[in-house]
Structure 1
Amino acid sequence: MTPDRPSVLIAEDEPDLANLYASRLEKRYEVRTAYDGVEAIESIDGDVDVVLLDRRMPELSGDLVLETIRERGLDCRVAMVTAVEPDFDIVEMGFDDYLVKPVSKAELIEVIDQLLLRSTYDEQLQELFALASKKVILDRRKSEAERKASEEYARLEDRMTVLRVRIDETVSELLQGDDRRQLCRDITRESLIDE
């Protein structure tokens, strides 16, 4: 994230919609637009903090753009912003959040701000929040019977459970003995520096 304004890449093949999103966001963020998947790949670099990515784009789909982003190891958060209704295939996808069109200005800003905050978390917390986002969208869009019948959904819940246990263990370790005292000193020192 840049010190002045975070950078957001909008990858959307409908120019009017991409430009609308850009106009809604340009006062808060440094905004780039890409009107297809190939242009999105060419536009993304280490300075991009958040990508708003449409799933259906000509030539190169948003799913493939997402795979490329993750294969390159780019340190950015990705929100799918799409008309594609989510299905259980999203469990294995490497995005951080999923919005179904139409989306409002407030929804865009909220998801970007949440993703920027998540980018400060460690990898386990980032993964937990990404999985929780997938679970929420599937809980809203799929019936209980569909969720119970899905192996992907079961794996999602299992992975979330494992991550919660690991995070709880890490917190417990930090709060034991000298680690706890050192953590409190570090927090106090940071508070004094910020004032």
Structure 2
Amino acid sequence: MTTTDSPSVLVVDDEEPLVELYARYLASRYTVQTATSGKQAVELADDSLDVVLLDRRMPQMSGDKVLRALREEGVTAQVAMLTAVEPKASIVEMPFDDYRLKPVDKADLLGLVEVLVERNEYDKQSQEFFALAAKRATLQTAGKTDTEKYEELTEQLEETREHIDTSLDKVGAEAAFADLAADD
């Protein structure tokens, strides 16, 4: 998270009017940077970012390539793909945290960014769980549930949920024993 008072959001889309609109929506709550090309997005991205809103279909450098470049550079910000590209099963392999089809109105955009900022506070396993759940929900909404990748995603989601449940059970048991030890 940034060292400023408000979380930092990078809005990336080749449509400048849309970038400006999203920036206006977000400016009262967040520190907003904008980029109208993939190259510019990669240049601006650093560890101070909390959220990246990224279009998939851009000239020269697609959002998919930008996403890969950000992850290769170690950018850990939550990334939401905001796009007109209908999702396919191949999104399972993409390292994003949420996927939304355009158009996205102000309330949806603010809600999305708020959730992603909150997820930054979660441990890695919980972040992974929510990213997997978002991918599954995206594929369900698109009617793309009859693929092997969807089945693998569902299995991975359940495994992650089981790990989280086990961790929570362990923490609960440890807390209970700590309370008992304190009573002695």
The reply on whether 1:89 has 2:87 as its aligned counterpart is no
Secondary structure of the residue that 1:32 maps to in structure 2?
strand
**Normalized against structure 2, the TM-score is what?**
0.93
Report the alpha carbon displacement of residue 74 of structure 1 after superposing the two structures with TM. 1.4
Question: Which whole-Å CA distance do the structure 2 matches of 1:106 and 1:180 have between them?
Answer: 41
Question: Which whole-Å CA distance do the structure 2 matches of 1:99 and 1:7 have between them?
Answer: 20
Q: 1:180 to 1:27 in 2, by over 3 A?
A: same
Partner of 1:46: 47
Partner of 1:21: 22
Considering fraction of residues, name the structure with more helix. 1
Partner of 1:153: 150
Q: CA RMSD in A?
A: 1.3
List 4+ stretches of structure 1 deviating above 6 A: none
Report the alpha carbon displacement of residue 179 of structure 1 after superposing the two structures with TM. 3.7
Q: 1:94 to 1:182 in 2, by over 3 A?
A: farther
**Normalized against structure 1, the TM-score is what?**
0.88
Read off the aligned partner of 1:123 and give its amino acid letter.
K
Question: Which whole-Å CA distance do the structure 1 matches of 2:52 and 2:171 have between them?
Answer: 33
Map Cα deviations across residues 25-45 of structure 1 (whole Å, 9 max, x no partner). 111111000001000001111
Point out where structure 1 has 5 or more consecutive residues left out of the alignment: 184-195
Read off the aligned partner of 2:22 and give its amino acid letter.
Y
Question: Which whole-Å CA distance do the structure 2 matches of 1:134 and 1:27 have between them?
Answer: 29
Read off the aligned partner of 1:117 and give its amino acid letter.
E
| Fraction of identical pairs, as percent | 46
Question: Which whole-Å CA distance do the structure 1 matches of 2:39 and 2:91 have between them?
Answer: 22
